[in-house]
Structure 1
Amino acid sequence: MRRHCPFVFSLLVIAATCSACTHTLERDTAADLGGTSWQLVKFQGSDDKTLTPDDKAKYTITFGADGAVSARVDCNRGRGTWKSSGPNQLALGPLALTRAMCPPGSLHDQIVKHWDYIRSYIIKDRHLFLSLMADGGIYEFEPIAG
């Protein structure tokens, strides 16, 4: 029994260390998103259809470190909330938007419709990718210069 004690103790220390590392990783992943601002590059649908905005600056999203989110969706602006309960997980709260009528060809209606279905994100090569549930498509954003 005594021979096994150092081994068991070592396993407990390793398990506790790994648990702390996982918790830190989750927190750091969400922290990477807080305090960032992005503009839309394109939307890639699950049907391989690609939509690009006429002006990237008309489609922006800012994630506050406090869980607030603000967005410009073409001719409208909105505010809401966001949270990340695990690595690469994203939950966006309802978006309170102004109600201007955007011009034909706008991506406004699609983005507003998809807002509630965004479930995950990844930052890769300095771009933010927001994924819709059920492989519904991916929004690609780039950092706003500034």
Structure 2
Amino acid sequence: MNKKIFIVAVFIVGIVFLLALLFPVPLVKNGEHAVGSPLNATYLIDEKPVTLVGGKAEVELVPGSATKLKVSNFGEPVYGDIDSDGDQDAVLLLVSDTGGSGTFYYATLAINVSGSYRGTDTILLGDRIAPQTYYFQGNKAVVNYADRPFGAPLTTRPSEGKSLYLQYDPSNFRLIKVAVDFEGEADPSRMTLDMTTWKWIRTVYNDGTIVTPQKPEAFSLTFRKDGTVSVKTDCNSMSGTYEVSGKNIEFKDMATTLMYCEGSQEQVFSTMLGKVQSFLFTSRGELVLELKFDSGLIIFR
């Protein structure tokens, strides 16, 4: 009987050893906070390390306290090669919430180090700002967002377009704000709706959802001085009128052709336009249509 038990035990140990060889557990470099995804890396927020797991984290503000700092990734990481080493780094927006009325947005980078991602520190964008586009431009990361005018109460809708240009110091993984020569950049105060045909770039919802056109050149808006607007999609064309009052805008009497196109995003796009409430321009030459109830932004360029 004991011999049978011994044989079974040896068999089980052998199976466990074989599984360990076939499916090894990947090692995480905790010392460097380097992992295989930007959504699982460690970042410094207000000089405190925050390790994301699947894009989320909870950190005790005070040991033993029930109040926790909740951090989550906004939207999706955008990839590019900021250090010209041939691999893909990432720029992200992180959102922190302590349970109060504030919702704070931070810009950060995840640097690809030999196939693993190491997070940098973060730069605060503001409380309840409106994120827009973020991307790589050469050896810089660019973060565009809308904020309130200086001194405006937090109840004011973000309407002032801002851009943050970032690099990082490879010796300590700290972010560096880059001073940019703005000669040739757009002046939002001089931009008008009818100055160009606007191409849809993306829509960013406040829950972090991002919708991009599958055919980027297919979707556009053309405003005319007589109050009419033409809309092109990946299927039908639309036309109608628009009314502007200050920074508020409303589309009216929209008519469309009736062709059917399999897989078209036309309905998604037209639904967005029906929810537009206001607009603003950015120094990047973008038109931003703000959705009702602060639910999101449609970005055109």
Deviations along 1:53-96, one digit per CA (max 9) or x if unpaired, are 1222110000001101000122110100012111x211111310
Indicate the structure whose relative CO is greater, using CA pairs within 8 Å and at least 6 residues apart.
1
What is the rounded CA distance, in whole Å, between the counterparts of 2:238 and 2:212 in structure 1?
Answer: 21
Aligned to 1:93: 252
Per-residue Cα deviation, 1:4-33 (whole angstroms, up to 9, x for no partner): xxxxxxxxxxxxxxxxxxxxxxxxx79811
1:82 aligns with 2:276: no
Relative to structure 1, the CA distance from residue 136 to residue 99 in structure 2 (aligned partners, 3 Å threshold; closer, same or farther) is: farther
Structure 2 Cα separation of the partners of residues 51 and 78 of structure 1: 20
Q: Distance in 1 between matches of 2:291 and 2:219?
A: 17
Q: Which whole-Å CA distance do the structure 2 matches of 1:102 and 1:46 have between them? A: 29
Secondary structure class of the residue paired with 2:192:
helix
Q: Which runs of 5+ in 1 are unaligned?
A: 1-28
| Count, aligned residues | 112
Between Structure 1 and Structure 2, the one with more helix by share is: 1
Conserved 8 A contact 1:94-1:116: no
State yes or no: 1:56 paired with 2:219.
no
- 2:281 is aligned with 1:130: no
Out of 205, 226, 236, the residue aligned to residue 66 of structure 1 is 226
Partner of 1:108: 266
Higher Cα Rg: structure 1 or 2?
Answer: 2
Partner of 1:17: none
Q: Identity of paired residues, percent?
A: 27
Q: Which letter maps to 1:81?
A: T
- Indicate the structure with greater strand content: 2
Q: 3-state DSSP class of the match of 2:253? A: coil
**Aligned-pair Cα RMSD in Å:** 1.8
Change (3 A) 1:40 1:128: same
1:40 maps to: 200
